[in-house]
Amino acid sequence: MDKISAWLEKHLVPIAAKIGSEKHLVALRDAFIGTMPAVMAGSIAVMINAIIRDIPKQFWPDYDASTVPVIREIIGVNGFVWNGTLAVIGLMFAFSWGYNLAKAYKTNELAGGIVSVAAFIQGIAFAYSDTLETKLPSSVVDAINTTGADGGWSATADSISKGGWGWLKLGHLDARAYFTVMIISTIAVLIFSKLMNKNITIKMPDSVPPAVSKAFAAIIPATVAIYVVAIINFIVTKFTDGQLIIDLIQKYLAEPFLGLSQSLASVLIVSFFVQLFWFFGIHGPNVFAPVLDGIWQQALLINANIVEKGYNGVSGQKGVLDAVKDGKAYIWTRGSFDAYAWFGGSGGTLMLLIAIFIFSKRADYREVAKLGIAPGLFNINEPVMFGLPIVFNAIMFIPFILAPIVATTIGWVATYFGLVYPVSVQIPWATPPILYSFLATAGDWRAPIVTIVCMLASFAIWAPFVISANKIQETDI
């Protein structure tokens, strides 16, 4: 074990440290964190609506929240909250990403955010059209074409069509935009930042106020960056018969990536490396934040939007299940790790603390457990990681790696086979276990049962190693 630890410490830790400090990945992590106020507000609205609108239908099929006073008003208010948060979270992420990327290059952060938004939004759909195939009498066709043309209506003997310009597509502004933002906005902000750093700017006299001077300095770099992206958009539409970049990225990049993320193997690989990095004192979730948030967080927000607005006319978690069948929603999301594996923090260390209270005869372990149990209930495990410690503690290596892998497998299998609804609501990570899974699945009573099973499995893995540690003197580890 010592040889393995020494090898990993020599070869893996330096790589992990470089990843954790790489400025683009740090900026991406901070960009996701920057959207959290809006994400949490929107998630609270989705959660409340799911509880008062969707859950009662599971027990009373005739229940209609829109007919219940006060309830319908609360649902309406939450709808407005959703409109301003999760429905356009991709737009907010575009600004946050541009801001943090410009910050990483030590340029004008505000201008970087604006350039990012401009580059992203220029390539989304500004028009819509829809056609209904139906037989129409000639008098109706003539009436529609005569009086409805100004409103975008047109008709033939076999169909009626409606179209308009100036309607931004929500499917381009929500979480599905993340991959496009990470590609298109990156191009724009990098061009902007490089030009800024080379001082290809408009210089203003020293007498000009700093805010005005900064704004003028950003004009040339921002204009060049936005034009470069515009040219890319123009070329793509010309060579793809009018298709937008965002649709191509969603179809050929985002959806395949999200699809790959749903396999048990993908989930377990990430879980393994998160634990491995933590064992060497490197914050695993932070290192893997670009992956966890860039892929599984996007899946979570897509599910949340379906819970709120529905899928093919079905709202709530049943709509999510219908969407999963069509590949438009996901069984495993960012919150699934927290619900079924990381109770008490990475490694499921809450169960370690319980095992210590029951089986440990070591005074040092019991003292750390007393100090760590309260934070552990809120998924904060740094006192245990560095106080017990688990970091570089050879006897704790196997359960620290194995427990969350087993728990993740149980949670994934339960979700895959429909024993529990997918995690579809963003919940604060500090929410106590069991309650977390209930809320994160929009009130599925089965989710806490799955969590308890995962906790018991983790406890069974931790307990033998806690008992073995009784035979080791404090100075031996």
The number of residues making up the chain comes to: 477
Weakest mean pLDDT among 2-11, 367-376, 396-405: 2-11
- CA 381 centroid distance within chain: 22
Alpha-carbon radius of gyration of the chain: 26
Residue of higher predicted confidence among 61 and 434: 434
Q: Say if 407 falls within a structural domain.
A: yes
Q: What percent of the chain has pLDDT over 70?
A: 94
pLDDT of residue 477: 45
Q: Say if 58 falls within a structural domain.
A: no
Are 222 and 325 contained in the same domain? no
Burial of 154 (0-12, 13-18, 19+ CB in 10 A): middle
Q: Is the pLDDT of residue 307 over 80?
A: yes
pLDDT of residue 52: 86
Q: Which of 106, 141, 167 is the last residue of a domain?
A: 167
Are 193 and 308 contained in the same domain? no
Q: Say if 406 falls within a structural domain.
A: yes
Q: Is the pLDDT of residue 442 over 90?
A: no
Q: Which residue has the tokens 């018969």?
A: 241
**Side chain identity at residue 460, one-letter code:** A
Q: Which of 138, 167, 196 is the last residue of a domain?
A: 167
Q: Say if 464 falls within a structural domain.
A: yes
Q: Are 421 and 441 in contact (CB under 8 A)?
A: yes
pLDDT of residue 5: 54
Q: Which residue has the tokens 């990095």?
A: 277
Q: Say if 408 falls within a structural domain.
A: yes
Q: Which of 202, 234, 260 is the last residue of a domain?
A: 260
Structure tokens at 120: 């992203």
Q: What percent of the chain has pLDDT over 90?
A: 47
- Number of domains observed in the structure of the chain: 3
pLDDT of residue 12: 58
Query: What average pLDDT does this structure show over 384-407?
Result: 89
The pLDDT tens digits for 195-226 are: 999 999 888 887 778 888 888 899 999 999 99
Are 337 and 288 contained in the same domain? yes
Are 225 and 149 contained in the same domain? no
- Domain encompassing residue 150: 127-167
Are 163 and 99 contained in the same domain? no
At residue 187, φ and ψ (nearest 5 deg) are -60, -45
Q: Say if 135 falls within a structural domain.
A: yes
Q: Say if 71 falls within a structural domain.
A: no
Residue of higher predicted confidence among 447 and 5: 447
Q: Is the pLDDT of residue 297 over 80?
A: yes
Burial of 442 (0-12, 13-18, 19+ CB in 10 A): buried
The pLDDT tens digits for 331-359 are: 999 999 999 999 998 899 999 999 999 99
Are 245 and 309 contained in the same domain? no
Are 225 and 276 contained in the same domain? no
Are 131 and 97 contained in the same domain? no
Average pLDDT of the chain is 88
Are 413 and 330 contained in the same domain? yes
Are 135 and 175 contained in the same domain? no
Q: At what angle do helices 89-104 and 23-34 cross, to 10 degrees?
A: 140
pLDDT of residue 473: 57
Residue of higher predicted confidence among 95 and 56: 95
DSSP 332-399: --HHHHHHHT-TTSTTTHHHHHHHHHHH---HHHHHHHHHHHHHHHTT--HHHHHHTT-TT-HHHHHH
Highest average pLDDT, of 299-313, 370-384, 398-412, comes from 398-412
pLDDT of residue 428: 85
Are 293 and 412 contained in the same domain? yes
Are 144 and 220 contained in the same domain? no
Q: Residue 438 — very low, low, confident or very high, per pLDDT cuts 50/70/90?
A: very high
Q: Is the pLDDT of residue 131 over 60?
A: yes
Structure tokens at 96: 């946050």
The pLDDT tens digits for 152-206 are: 788 888 888 887 777 888 889 988 899 999 999 999 999 999 999 999 988 888 7
Q: How far apart are the first and last CA of the chain?
A: 13
Q: Say if 40 falls within a structural domain.
A: no
Burial of 4 (0-12, 13-18, 19+ CB in 10 A): exposed
At residue 70, φ and ψ (nearest 5 deg) are 70, -50
